[in-house]
Structure 1
């Protein structure tokens, strides 16, 4: 055992008590704190996982898979099963407008202790985001949320020990007691990838500001977007699949003659809606615009809403997850646009 008066193992030539002792004590204290918080979280997570496998959630489980996964390839998708489980339990919005964690809380609130209640509350507000390491201390690390422009400390120093100041990462943070732990996913990304993701997400948020009051709320409802970036970063075949898919869409768009009088929603529908439903979608959209005047919001959301509405009205067996994936939007956004169209 290293004594206080022994030479410090760092090689400085100083006594341990005059060199790294205080730093090591702070680091050890932080590690114990993190381990205790992780134990509390994973004990609750085990209960949530078991609850989520209830037969009554089977249909929602399949819908969540449709939204979360990019490719229909079980071998590739199995690599992201842990991430998907977190998404399904904490993020997937079911038909009843709730997530699994809320359903679990409502059914078990009389049997939950204060620690579990507190963790659940923080889970409701957690999301995946892009962070940058701003400061490294012996007992904690300061991270900046690049999408929300807020800073947060985490004591998870062992997990982040290989990162440097300025390092960009994708991570998910949950507060347990007075400790912020990183769960599920923490991956290093380049500065260029960080800039692309942040720009893409901010642009997307600007299109849906009429639905979500702030970026925080937007991210809570759209964690699947960051998980899809993660899948592309960790699995090259997925990135290649999406590249080919975009090329096919671009080719199809070029082959469609879009009149100058057509708006972008109609142009998007011409790229995505099958011929047997296309004219019905165009007629419905033109009628909706005529009745409501200027329509604000992202074109993808409106196009998806129109297709879903027309197909439902025609008695087609179609899910919101299927249409959302097709138009690269969230099911909650589709639900909002469908409600707007339905109220007409």
Structure 2
């Protein structure tokens, strides 16, 4: 137990009698306030320093769901941006936007508890939660439908009307002082929608963590789509050659292997058909162009895959994907600006 005139153990540099003596709850509030400020600074840094990269993703998401409700689309697009901040490498050494932010902040934070909690944010991942019970005035105990993990968390006040046992919550829970709280936007649904949400989540629960993180945009898109989408098929388009159609079929099969929603499938076939109409490529190996088209699709749609992963999936070399995808991206950009 520190004495009155000792330095406060919270790390503020003040004397104990002028800081945390007889007000431990106040310390928790201070830590939470500091974390809230750090969250604001993180999002501000991301949206200013990396505005171009992140804006491209926002635009790609709206292009896939042009008819979606504006408020819903903006919220979900913001969730994709938070996913990018924590998981999308921006450098060859796999450094993320959050890594850059943390490295710039860690030596400036005076309070050890705040510094420790900020470091844990590196492991922040998206979650789809089912509320099991309310344990306190603003604290809920939920189970992550993706991992089975149980967590205690708070919720923004605007979600209190929908938060009850059986409700679902979608967002990015991160450690705070006493309970987990959310970084970025949150989506909550009444229990009436839980069965449908569980059905959509079910096909992702057996994925490894890395695989799931890569497929988060697909799951998010599936959760957005409340209506049955029309069937997508290569026969809906005109092709110059059978090989071009075979490539479309290989591309469609590849996207379905990763459970991409029909809207992404349709966008992929539309862009592949557009490329074929412009270039009429002579194709020897459809899988090579299918892999390249899926890789190029990342520039206009909220999906994510590495050349290495696509090479394995389609049975082609990464160098082939690199060359072909560059060709496709160039043609599509020229067509868009023509």
Q: TM-score with structure 2 length normalisation?
A: 0.59
2-structure distance, mates of 1:60, 1:102:
16
Question: What does 1:223-242 correspond to in 2, within 5 Å?
Answer: 223-225=216-218, 227-228=220-221
Question: Which one of the candidate residues 246, 250, 264 is aligned to 1:265?
Answer: 250
Q: 1: distance between equivalents of 2:197 and 2:87?
A: 20
**Superposed displacement of residue 153, structure 1:** 1.5
Aligned with 2:175: secondary structure?
Answer: strand
2:85 paired with 1:89: yes
* DSSP-derived class of the 1:44 partner: helix
Task: Give the Cα–Cα distance (whole angstroms) in 2 for the partners of residues 119 and 262 of structure 1.
Answer: 51
1:250 aligns with 2:232: yes
Structure 1 counterpart of 2:38: 44
Q: Return the alpha-carbon distance in structure 2 between the equivalents of residues 336 and 45 of structure 1.
A: 32
Match of residue 335 from structure 2: none
Instruction: Kindly state the Cα deviation for residue 285 of structure 1 after the two structures are TM-superposed.
Output: 3.8
Shift of 1:336: 2.9
In the alignment, is the contact (CA less than 8 A) between 1:37 and 1:177 conserved in 2? Answer: yes
Q: Any conservation in 2 of the 1:48–1:104 contact (CA below 8 Å)?
A: yes
Corresponding residue for residue 120 of structure 2? 122
- 60-69 or 156-165: which moved more? 156-165
CA RMSD of aligned residues (A): 4.6
Aligned residues: 267
Aligned to 2:95: 98
Distance 1:176 1:307 in 2: 42
CA distance in 2, matches of 1:232, 1:126: 25
The residue that corresponds to 2:298 in the other structure is 320
1:143 to partner: Cα distance = 0.4
The answer as to whether partners of 2:145 and 2:201 remain within 8 angstroms in 1 is no
Query: Offset of 1:174 from its aligned partner?
Result: 0.9
**Residue number among 51, 55, 65 corresponding to 1:62 in the alignment:** 55
Q: In structure 1, what is the equivalent of residue 7 of structure 2?
A: none
Unaligned runs of 5+ in 1: 1-28, 234-238, 289-301, 310-317
Q: Deviations over 1:17-67 (max 9, x none)?
A: xxxxxxxxxxxx9x9788555422221123223322445x24322333245
| Aligned equivalent of 1:150 | 149
Deviation digits for residues 67-112 of structure 1 (CA, Å, limit 9, x no counterpart) = 5444469993784375465345334443644321112223444334
1:225-268 CA distances to partner (integer Å, 9 max, x unpaired)? 455456557xxxxx7xxx6xx43x63654567999x96952555
Q: Which moved more, 1:141-150 or 1:127-136?
A: 127-136
Q: Cα distance, 1:144 vs. partner?
A: 0.7
Contact map agreement 2:169 2:187 (CA 8 A) in 1: yes
CA distance in 1, matches of 2:156, 2:293: 48
Q: What is the SS of the residue equivalent to 1:46?
A: helix
Of 190-199 and 45-54, deviating more is 190-199
How has the CA–CA distance of structure 1 residues 64 and 93 changed in structure 2, closer, same or farther, with 3 Å as cutoff? farther
Secondary structure in structure 2 of the residue aligned to 1:185: coil
The aligned residue for residue 194 of structure 1 is: 194
Q: From the superposition, tell whether residues 153 and 271 of structure 1 become closer, same or farther in structure 2 (CA, over 3 Å).
A: same
